[in-house]
Each structure stands twice: as structure tokens, then as C-alpha cells.
Structure 1
């Protein structure tokens, strides 16, 4: 006859093993989703959707950028406004307030690790370092979609209600 404590222990172990066997495929699914995104992506669009539903160009008519994701989920992202004004002095240490503002507002760069939840269509950027220091150490979540060789994601709304939308095309 099995004692009640032995039965409870065996049931507990069985429950833990059952949960672990379910978790492994989910982890593998997330890893395969990250691997599917691995490669080099070029920027197609850096748009913004306004609260009234209209869409505009957040980084000008012809922004450029790269998103590089490795097989381990590390990433580096750069977005630049094409028509950024050069510093008149040629020295970044002696720029004017307007030149500094243009340089900061004309780019978005950060790197770190990327987490993918394919079931919920969520990307989470774990930002290690960024051109905007307030983002360092942050986790930024985006809803994403993939159509063919294009990846698009929507950034959380800004305080004014604008929602940035990035579209990337896979190079390799």
C-alpha cells in the first residue's frame, strides 16, 4: 500500500515533469522564431500613425537603416533621417543647439538582445545601450508581423498619441 505522502510526492513530480515537457516546446518555438529573424534587414519605412488615423513619414521621405539580428538573439538597430543637416563648424563638440537637436531627432540607434513571442506576435527589445540614454536598460515591446521577406512592427504610442511603425526588408 502506498502512503499518502508518497502518493502526493509522486503526483507532484509527475505534475512538474508534465509542465516541463510543455514548456520545452514553447521555449524551442521562441528560439526558432528568433532564428527565423536572424540576418540583416534594411529599412523600408519609418512611418508614424497619428491619432486621427493618418500616416506620415517619421524620419523623412527616404530614411535609411539596418537591423542586424544574430542566431543568439543579439541585435543592433540604426535608423537615420536621410536629410540630416551637417554641423556648420565640422566639429561635433561645437555644434549649435539646433544642430544637436537635429542630430538627436534624426536618428534612433540601440543594441542589446531580442526576445520573440511568435504566438502573441510580440518582439521585446532588451536595450543594453542606446543613442537616447533614457532607453538604456529598458525593455521595449512591439507588436510585429512578417509578410514574405518584410518585417514590420508598431512601437508603443508616444505621449502625443503618435505610433511609430518600422518596416524592414530581409537582405540575407
Structure 2
């Protein structure tokens, strides 16, 4: 085979391989491409201007924390000495969990496998969420919000 035939064969092979790859959002929505650090934009259960961070590691580990824009200070100044009202407001206004996550680009879902949470009922739970990525925003539908209520979208913006 001469060089021209080799070049033609390689070009044809590359074209076939390129056509077999996913395109558009499906290609963008995998664990590697969503990996990063995000801040909350919209989290209905946590009111206006929620605070927090979602870290999606390229290794499949995640950490998520969300809180209302303001939480009450504990008057006594020690974590273990909050009043019933202070503790209720803090627990109701914040959530943290971590574990492992997977992305299914075909189904357009992100699955959180919770190892531990500040809401202990979620320890060991698995949550599969429909999601999409648009520019720097990752949005998923929370169908089991920690604060109760119905399903709603949670919107995160990638930190640059």
C-alpha cells in the first residue's frame, strides 16, 4: 500500500470514528465535563439568595451544601447550646451531604449516592435527578427536597 492509500484509509477511519461520537449536549453531559465547583443560583427550599457550594469531582465524588441567605446566630455562642427555636431554624435552613455521583448522558440524569448527610434519613440514599447543562449553569430537578414541598429545579452556576 502506498502513502496515498494509507492516508485515505486513515482519513476514512477518522471520519467514521468522528461520526460515531455523540454531539451537542449529550457529549457535554458526562461526569468529566460537569466536574467543577458551583454556587447556587436558585434553590427554592432555601429562599432568595441561597448560599452554598456543589463540588463535583472528576473522580465521581461530590459534596453539596446549601443554606438560606441568613441563619440565626446562636445566642449562647456555642454550637451545642442553641435554643430549640435556633436549632430548628438552622436545621430547616441548611443541608449538607456528600458521596459519589454518576451521570447518564443518554437518560440526562445525575445520580447522587449519599454517604452521609446532615439529614440522617438520607444516609445511604440514592437520588436520581433529571438534569441539563446550559453554558455555565447546571440545573437538576429536586424531587425529594429536604424542606418538603413538591419538585423544583435547583440551579447552580460554575465558579470560574
Check conservation: 1:129, 1:136, Cα contact below 8 A. Answer: yes
Q: TM-score, normalised by structure 2?
A: 0.77
Q: Which of 39, 43, 47 is the aligned partner of 1:46?
A: 43
For the Cα contact (< 8 Å) 1:157–1:164, is it kept in 2? no
Deviation per CA, 1:106-136, whole angstroms, max 9, x where unpaired?
1111000001111111111000111111111
**Structure 2 residue aligned with 1:115, among 99, 102, 124?**
102
- Match of 1:90? 77
Aligned pair partner of 1:163 in 139, 151, 157? 151
Distance 1:87 1:131 in 2: 18
How many equivalent pairs are there?
136
Secondary structure of 1:88's counterpart equals: coil
- The 5 A counterparts of 1:1-172 are 33-47=30-44, 58-157=45-144, 162-172=150-160
Q: Which structure 1 residue ranges, 5 or more long, are not aligned?
A: 1-24, 48-57
Task: Please tell me the root mean square deviation across aligned C-alpha atoms, in Å.
Answer: 2.4
Q: Distance in 2 between matches of 1:157 and 1:42?
A: 20
TM-score, structure 1 normalization: 0.72
Moved more, 120-129 or 153-162: 153-162
- For 1:171 and 1:65, locate their aligned partners in 2 and report how far apart those are by CA, in whole Å: 12
- Verify the 8 A CA contact 1:142 1:155 in the aligned structure 2: yes
2-side partners of 1:62 and 1:113: how far apart?
27
| Shift >6 Å, 4+ stretches | none
